Structure 1
Amino acid sequence: MTEKDTIQDKLARLPRRPGVYLMKDQRGKIIYVGKAVDLRQRVRSYFQSAQKLSPKVRALVEKIADLDYTVTDTEVEALILESNLIKEYKPRYNIDLKDDKHYPYLRVTVQEPFPRIHVARRVEKDGARYFGPYTNAGAVRETIRLIRRLFPLRHCRGPVDPAKSGRPCLNRHIDRCLAPCDGEVGEEEYRKLVDEVLLFLEGKQDRLLHELAARMEEAAQNLEFEKAARLRDQYQAVEAIREKQKIALTEGGDRDIIALAAGEDLGCAQLFAVRGGKLTGREHFLLTNPTGEDEAEMLAAFLRRYYTHAGEIPPEILLSGEIPDAALLEEWLRGKRGGRVRIHVPQRGAKKDLARMALDNAAMFLEQEVLRQRARDPQAALRALTEALSLEEPPCRIEGYDISHLHGEGTVAAMVVFENGVAKPSDYRRFRVRSVDKPDDYASMRETLSRRFARLAALRDAGEPPENMEDPFLLVPDLILIDGGIGQLNAARQAMEEAGYNDVPMISLAKEEELVFVTGRREPLRLPRNSAALQLLQRVRDEAHRFVITYQRKRRPGVRGSLLLDVPGIGEARRKALLKHFGSIAEMRRASVEQLAEVEGMNEAVAATLYEYLREEDRT
């Protein structure tokens, strides 16, 4: 029996019941997971006439070698099972959150006698309170720092036993912990602090301020002035944070507002968290869309994916558009929350305005991500560069050049190579500039390009073909990029004309304004900052700069004239004496052995060694 016969046999036996189906490829790997109210009808729809399927769904069906299914009692059970299987197997063709395994949560260990707060990467059924997930790990860490500054919870891990009183850590001495380990605070008092943290994370600043004011007054009446002062500082800090909440709804309550913008293969969901009638948090999530589903299906998939592991579920969820199975999702969320949940699309008022704002943000983030992906695509960047520079064809081989020196000493140059938009380190080369005695980037660039093309020009003039086509010096680049402005470009162009390669396109990229100077054009090009072409040029330029600086630092560990220390017989005293006498390494190169020996502390043997060393430097 063939694979197709096996699939057809299974299709014929599919029940007309709710459940989950799994599509597998030839290796038995699950490539798609779906749910259905009627398994027979839904699964068989994939194997209808190919003309009725979209191109991306046809691509999925062509890879199906086997299928399996699980029957459930209800649609809600099918939805839960589908979400869990997608999370477990991460099928290639399912809509899914990008990199959601990295999304952090804030975890408050309320199940412990003396809770603490920290970052968690997954939600466990351990009794702790979870907030998130969040897409910005840096913002999560900043939130923890803020909370620890406002609320002196313990930082240490493990259980706390006040009976075994120990020495408090530094956090106690800087008022960042109440030191339950030393018995300085009881469990009841510490729990009040934890409740304040929870109110803060829930966005209930008004209620938190009321609690802090009451505790502050109680402490003052009990003559606990240090405690009252600490509570006053907390009150003022929370009040300042509340004032930063610029957006407020006319109605109170807790709700999530979710909007989705969809592209061809990618979508972005924007989530606004409203707590107590104020906008307390914003997160955006990127979704993959391998089978080209519409926005409604993507939004529904995001809700299933997000709320499967969300730290909290509000009683109201506002959407930017209608979704399929809204009633089913409501039923599922009610079961998870243990209370009422309403999903709907606002039609007017402040809620609609917030939904529109969320949609605008989602569209903006999606556009930025698409541009970033295009910039990371080497072929797209090359095409954009070809158009921007009006080249006849994409520059498959790009060479970038940069010059570096340390206070005018030890000038070096570097050549980096990008092939098909990707760095090729095996073709990188370094140069020690020989003809320049003082800082002169123009002369250094002329020498570097002259030496780079000298062998190739010699072979061309002799009419001999290059023998080793893997030698980077025997290949003609499609584009040369110089780090610098019009002066560096003109110097490089002069060297190329002398070598007979003035037909090779050359440009330079100036820092700060990122202007692109092109030979033959009077005015520089100003490419958009988000241009894939500019970002490719920046990568080449930055790589050349990194490579030459690394070489410079390797040769000059940070001390002027430090290469002298590599000469046998020369130490720190002789190095200083030589530099004081000659002024620079360049002047030493011009000196004879006798002149070197005349320097205080030198002798003829060391002078002869230095003389040969400097000549060897010139030959490299």
Structure 2
Amino acid sequence: MYPSVELQNIVKNSPFSPGCYIYRDKHGTVLYVGKAKIIRKRIKSYFDGFERQETKIQRMVKQISTIEFVTTDSELEALLLETNLIKKYRPKYNSRMKDDKNYIWLKIDTRSDFPTFRVVREVDSRSAEYIGPFPNTLPVKRILSGLRRIYPYRTCNRKIVQNSDGSISSSDAKPCLYYYLGLCQAPCAGMIQKKDYRTNISRIKSYFLSDKETLKQELESEMKKAASEHNFELAAELRDKSRDLDILSQRIRVRDNTDENEYRKTREQKLNLAMQELTSKLDVFDIQVKKGFKIECFDISNIQGKYAVASMVVFIDAKADKGKYRKFRIQTKDTPDDFAMMKEALSRRFKKQSSKDDSFSRMPDLLIVDGGKGQLSTAFNLLQELGISIPVIGLAKRMEEIFIPVDKDGELTFLKRTLKAGSEGKFLIQRIRDESHRFAITYHRSLRAKGQLASNLDMLPGIGAITKKNLLRAFGSIEGIKKASESDLLQIIKHKKRLQTLRDFLNSKK
């Protein structure tokens, strides 16, 4: 139920990105502020599912006159911005007012000769250093706990000062239990000097502020190894550490006084800076950054050549445009050959440049292939064959190193460029890479799950190709079929005896 055609069009053209949405009535009064991982999907649920909503929500929907969107780079930023907007507008239909307990900071008391780390919820001292914000406490504490085993630091409230002659004065000079556990180097007892202690603190700070991709890849590799060796307890522990890194790695630009206008302004400045930093590294190309600058990135996902897919993600002005994402199911190869798969995906993409689909009809200003020199060579040679002149770069799997192809007298060579850790340009490259990987692997897993289901159904006598296809389309998985009602299944299978045979078969697949 849409109160107006105008509102229906607003919803229809709403973004696929994470962010916040603001419902306003005809007077411009804010009725409700919400956040979503995918804005369009969330707001459509209010209108398409109107009859299923509770009475209070139905009353609100009937009053909505317009919707304002604020897209963010992550769901965590959306959460923090939502908190601030609710405080700012205090909307009638936001029954739970948010407070500062939604996110935390890591406080380092720089006044002390031997600083400590504190997890706090307010920035209340100009003499201290703060890292954050972070969306919740647990990941930060777990990361600190792990780092403390590598770089010991104190957690006590003792007053410890290093004197001008190098001696140390302490309110309690007896080492505590943490010294004997290897978690503190006992500055209180003069066991470590100020310079060495502060080196540990600096390394922990650097960890929170710099690129964590290498560590994440190592954790995921160890997790897969542990799982393959059936050490599931260790695999689960490594999985949790990897998830903690995901949370800490997300760039958060929302502070406690940031509203939608300030966020948009700051984000636009950061995105412009990201484009400048990225293109400055691509100095061999004559790249002119203009409004509407389009980046396309391709990635391949498969297991030993099976269920091979390619993803194409699109960024316009350094922002993900998910409505223009496209995916390709690889048709020419079923054995491991990422180079041939990349060539097929790119060939199919550029053959569609005369298509009515504006994702294909508009050529990219920069083409990125997620992979090293091999994939990049494939892309470069294909563009040469097709007579297409587009800047193309490769993105190495580790460290986000950029490779640029250069044709020197008929011989293809490569220049390597790196972006500074923690820079906006590097963060942009990381987001593009992560999106291309996520989009590819999601499609690959979907095909693999359907293939496994189809393989199971092939074993059942009496289930033909059409019935199998309809079951896959309707229920998507073995579990979906198991949970389906008899009336739903009879819409496809028609015969009760055959349906019972199917149920008996599925119940045997435990």
Report the TM-score when normalising by structure 1: 0.36
Greater Rg by CA = 1
Identify which of structures 1 and 2 has the higher relative contact order when contacts are C-alpha pairs closer than 8 Å and 6+ apart: 2
